Structure 1
Amino acid sequence: MVKLAAKCILAGDPAVGKTALAQMFRSDGAHFQKSYTLTTGIDLVVKTVPVPDTGDSVELFIFDSAGKELFSEMLDKLWESPNVLCLIYDVTNEQSFKNCGKWLEKAQSQAPGICLPGVLVGNKIDLAGRRAVDSAEAQAWALGQGLECFETSVKEMENFEAPFHCLAKQFHQLYQEKMKVFQALM
């Protein structure tokens, strides 16, 4: 039984639901705040996620960061050496989806030369009538970037845990691959 620790960066534009997703995940769906204030720095959410079929677990240190550019210099230090990435956009806001490329680039620059596992999360699917980003388009973009793709509605408590379980599994898989390489050297 192995307990791993992974630094997870939550990234995306302001008001896409980063804080809501992190808080809902931390509380196992028990806590949805109706109103949030704009995150002005970083909030840290820590939660242990069991890895299915292994007996192992990954403690995710989820850095919920401000989406505003004005805080970006401060974020550089806090974003150093991430292990996994959770990119979030609002399915009703096409620009928030387009900006995911910028957020991905920023995160990858903090982990040069390292394959950074991650997920793309389209939030607010409960607002179906206002959808501006096609699921297939998001899926294709994510695939092209090597990311798993999810859609959620934090408000409706729909699929909010899946991205984090995926990240824990991805990180655990990387750990196992590194252990095999290490053991082969012995």
Structure 2
Amino acid sequence: MVKLAAKCILAGDPAVGKTALAQIFRSDGTHFQKNYTLTTGVDLIVKMVPVPDTGDSVELFIFDSAGKELFSEMLDTLWESPNVLCLVYDVTNEQSFSNCSKWLEKARSQVPGTSLPGVLVGNKTDLAGRRAVDAAQAHEWALGQGLEFFETSVKDTKNYEAPFQCLARQFHQLYREKVEVFHALA
């Protein structure tokens, strides 16, 4: 049994549900907070995620960061050397989806020359009548960026675990590949 640790950056515009997603994941779906204050720096959430069919687990250190530009310079040092990325947008807010390109570029700039595994998460699917971002369009964009795609409703506790389970699998796969390279050199 291998226990790994991965630094996960949670990125996206303000009010897309990053903090709610992280909190509901940490509480295993038992705690949905109706009112959140603006994240002004970074909150750290740590959770062990088992990797199916391996007996291994990945401890995700989830850095829930402010979405406001005014805080972004401060985040540069906190964003150093991420292992995985969780990019979140609000399915009712077209601009939050458009800005994912900017957030992705910022995160990838922290690991130049290296692949940064990650997921794109469309949150707030419970607001179906207000949907502004087509799931197929978002899925296509995610694939083009090398990201896995998920939609969630934190409020309805729907699919909130899947993005983090995917990130743990992605990180575990990278670890296995590095171990194989190491063994091939020995």
Identify the TM-score tier after normalising by the shorter chain.
over 0.9
Alignment partner, residue 12 of structure 1: 12
In the TM superposition, what are the counterparts of 1:129-140 in structure 2 within 5 Å?
129-140=129-140
Give the CA deviation at 1:102. Answer: 0.1
Alignment partner, residue 40 of structure 1: 40
TM-score (norm 2): 1.00
1:89 aligns with 2:89: yes
Find the aligned partners of 1:162 and 1:59 in 2 and give their Cα distance.
Answer: 15
Find the aligned partners of 2:149 and 2:135 in 1 and give their Cα distance.
Answer: 9
Give the CA deviation at 1:125. Answer: 0.2
Gaps of 5+ in 1: none
Gaps of 5+ in 2: none
In the TM superposition, what are the counterparts of 1:65-80 in structure 2 within 5 Å?
65-80=65-80
Alignment partner, residue 156 of structure 1: 156
Instruction: Give the partner amino acid of 1:91.
Output: V
Instruction: Give the partner amino acid of 1:36.
Output: Y
Give the CA deviation at 1:136. Answer: 0.3
Give the CA deviation at 1:104. Answer: 0.1
Alignment partner, residue 28 of structure 2: 28
Give the CA deviation at 1:67. Answer: 0.0
1:145 aligns with 2:145: yes
Instruction: Give the partner amino acid of 2:31.
Output: H
Instruction: Give the partner amino acid of 1:138.
Output: A
Percent identical among aligned pairs is 83
Find the aligned partners of 1:112 and 1:3 in 2 and give their Cα distance.
Answer: 26
Find the aligned partners of 2:113 and 2:61 in 1 and give their Cα distance.
Answer: 22
Find the aligned partners of 2:167 and 2:139 in 1 and give their Cα distance.
Answer: 17
Find the aligned partners of 2:112 and 2:57 in 1 and give their Cα distance.
Answer: 26
Find the aligned partners of 2:32 and 2:113 in 1 and give their Cα distance.
Answer: 38
TM-score (norm 1): 1.00
Does the residue aligned with 1:127 lie in a helix, a strand or coil? helix
Alignment partner, residue 185 of structure 1: 185
Instruction: Give the partner amino acid of 1:19.
Output: T
In the TM superposition, what are the counterparts of 1:167-178 in structure 2 within 5 Å?
167-178=167-178
Give the CA deviation at 1:163. Answer: 0.1
Find the aligned partners of 1:16 and 1:115 in 2 and give their Cα distance.
Answer: 25
Give the CA deviation at 1:179. Answer: 0.4
Instruction: Give the partner amino acid of 1:34.
Output: K
Find the aligned partners of 1:113 and 1:4 in 2 and give their Cα distance.
Answer: 23
1:109 aligns with 2:109: yes
What's the Cα RMSD here? 0.3
Number of equivalenced pairs = 186
- Structure 1 moving runs of 4+ over 6 Å: none
Instruction: Give the partner amino acid of 1:58.
Output: V
Find the aligned partners of 1:80 and 1:112 in 2 and give their Cα distance.
Answer: 11
Find the aligned partners of 2:169 and 2:151 in 1 and give their Cα distance.
Answer: 18
Does the residue aligned with 1:165 lie in a helix, a strand or coil? helix
Does the residue aligned with 2:55 lie in a helix, a strand or coil? coil
Give the CA deviation at 1:61. Answer: 0.0
Instruction: Give the partner amino acid of 2:125.
Output: I
Find the aligned partners of 2:132 and 2:86 in 1 and give their Cα distance.
Answer: 20
Does the residue aligned with 1:126 lie in a helix, a strand or coil? helix
Does the residue aligned with 2:25 lie in a helix, a strand or coil? helix
